[in-house]
Each structure stands twice: as C-alpha cells, then as structure tokens.
C-alpha cells in the first residue's frame, strides 16, 4: 500500500535516498541557523528583548543541521550537494519571502517592520516544519536509527512555532495587526507553491534513485498536486491564524544540546 509511512521507510532503507534526504534537510537547517544569527545581531534598539530568543532559534537550527549530518556519519555517508530545485530556503527568498540575504549581510539595524516580516516568514515555515515532524514522529518516534532525532527536532519545531505566535500577537497588540495579516497571507500563498515545487522535485529525485515505476511516480505527483490545490483553496488559512500558545516564552531558556549526535 502506498502511504507516507511506506514511502519514508523506503527512503530510509536506501543509502543514496537517505543521503539525499539528510543532505537537503541539513542544508536548510544550516541556512536557517545563519539567517537567525544575522537577524539577532541586527535587532533594532527597541526590540533587544528578542535577541536571546532569535539567537536560541538559530542555535536550534544549527543543531538540527548537525543532527542530520551525524545521521549520515553513522552510516558512513557524506553529504551530497543540494539540487537547486530542492532548495526550499533559496526558492522562498527568490519569491521575496522573508528578509533578503543581501539585507542580512549589511551591518545596518533592522526596522520593526523587518522584524515582523521575519516573524511572519517564520510563522509560516515553522508551521510546515512542525507538521512534517509530527508526521515523522507519528511513524518513526521509536525507530532505532532516526527516532531520537525525530523526537528532538519535532519538540524544537513546536517551540519555534509557538514563539512566532506569541511574538506576532505582541506586535499585533501594538498596532501592527494589518501589516502582520497581510504579510502572513503573502508568505503562506508563496510557501505553498514553493512547497509543491520542492516536493515534486524531491520525489522525482527519489524515484530515480529508488527505481520507482512511472505509475508510482505519477500517483505521488498527483498526491502532491492535490495537497497544493487544497492548500490554495483553504488550507493556507491555518498558516495565518494566531493564537496564544499554551507554553509561554518557549524560547526563553537555554537551547538543548544533542550529545548523542555529536
């Protein structure tokens, strides 16, 4: 039976597909770590309370990248270059979502509007990350090879998502509600397109590595496109709603380490 679990099991069971998957994930997490690190150094004077939280976010992303690379090392594998069509972070930037890397490389303080753009971008992308990790946790939390990594990363992504809700609600209460909603909608509609394109590209690569039949590739591609159509019609709305998280100040403490993956 073709299911998310069976597809992931097949990917995990093959060294080449596993290497591609971990390489893509490690690259994206490392990029996120760099972005958050730069943003933390450029926070405007009036928002300095955000610095330790943004720093913590970046440290977590760096940790996730190291975890994926450690999973590769455990199999005696080396990372592979990330195909451009599977580079989620780069493709989002090309669509003008989030803060441009050229802006982050300049040593000029960000504005409050820039911080809201960053938080809205994070709110949308962390929704995706949290959902994907929840799916993996459902099926692979007890997996002997990747279970610990899945549980740890999933917990962090939940915290990151909660943090974006909390901070955006704070800014909304300060009079930025319309800017936040407009920015969230733009980010969500762009993200679902990029997610569709990246998913199709990744599945095409995996299909070639694993020797999937044309029929199987067609079924998976149809499923990805069906998800996109649902998200384009209504599913994107889950990415723009805001609610106060049950756990307040989720990034207020020190980052957890991953000694088992060091």
CATH number of this structure's domain 4-241, picked from the four choices 3.40.50.800, 1.20.1260.10, 3.30.830.10, 3.40.50.720? 1.20.1260.10
What SS3 string covers 197-251? HHHHHHHHHHHHHHCCCHHHHHHHHHHHHHHHHHHHHCHHHHHCCCCCCCCCCCC
Residue 1: predicted pLDDT: 59
Residue with tokens 């996120």: 32
- Per-residue pLDDT at 259 exceeds 60: no
Per-residue pLDDT tens digits for 49-66? 999 999 999 999 999 999
- Mean of the per-residue pLDDT values of the chain: 94
Domain boundaries, the chain: 4-241
- Per-residue pLDDT at 262 exceeds 60: no
CA angle 32, 33, 38 (to 5 degrees): 100
What is the distance between the alpha carbons of residues 174 and 159, in angstroms, rounded to a whole number? 23
Residue 253: predicted pLDDT: 66
Residue 257: predicted pLDDT: 63
What is the distance between the alpha carbons of residues 89 and 31, in angstroms, rounded to a whole number? 7
Per-residue pLDDT tens digits for 213-238? 999 999 999 999 999 999 999 999 99
Per-residue pLDDT tens digits for 86-135? 999 999 999 989 999 999 999 999 999 999 999 999 999 999 999 999 99
Q: Which residue would you say has higher pLDDT here, 256 or 165?
A: 165
What is the distance between the alpha carbons of residues 18 and 78, in angstroms, rounded to a whole number? 11
What is the distance between the alpha carbons of residues 166 and 132, in angstroms, rounded to a whole number? 21
Classify 195 as helix, strand or coil: helix
Residue 255: predicted pLDDT: 61
Query: Global pTM?
Result: 0.94
What is the distance between the alpha carbons of residues 201 and 21, in angstroms, rounded to a whole number? 12
Residue 2: predicted pLDDT: 73
């Amino acid at each position: 039976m073709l299911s998310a679990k069976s597809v992931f099991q097949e990917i995990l069971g093959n060294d080449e597909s596993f290497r591609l998957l971990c390489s893509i994930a490690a690259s994206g997490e490392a990029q996120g770590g760099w972005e958050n690190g730069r943003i933390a150094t450029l926070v405007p004077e009036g928002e300095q309370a955000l610095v330790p939280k943004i720093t913590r976010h970046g440290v977590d992303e760096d940790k996730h990248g190291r975890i994926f690379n450690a999973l590769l090392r455990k199999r005696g594998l080396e990372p592979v270059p990330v195909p451009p069509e599977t580079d989620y972070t780069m493709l989002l930037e090309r669509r003008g979502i989030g803060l441009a890397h050229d802006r982050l490389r300049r040593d000029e303080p960000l504005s409050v509007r820039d911080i809201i753009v960053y938080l809205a971008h994070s709110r949308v992308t962390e929704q995706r990350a949290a959902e994907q990790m929840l799916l993996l946790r459902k099926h692979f939390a007890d997996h002997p090879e990747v279970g610990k990594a899945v549980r740890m990363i999933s917990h962090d992504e939940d915290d990151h998502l909660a943090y974006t809700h909390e901070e955006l609600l704070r800014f909304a209460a300060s009079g930025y509600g319309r800017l936040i909603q407009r920015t969230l909608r733009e980010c969500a509609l762009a993200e679902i397109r990029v997610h569709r394109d990246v998913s199709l590209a990744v599945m095409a690569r995996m299909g070639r590595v694993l020797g999937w039949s044309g029929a199987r590739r067609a079924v998976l591609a149809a499923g990805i496109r069906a998800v996109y159509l649902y998200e384009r019609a209504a599913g994107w709305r889950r990415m723009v709603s805001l609610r106060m998280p049950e756990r307040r100040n989720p990034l207020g403490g020190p980052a957890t380490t991953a000694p088992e993956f060091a």
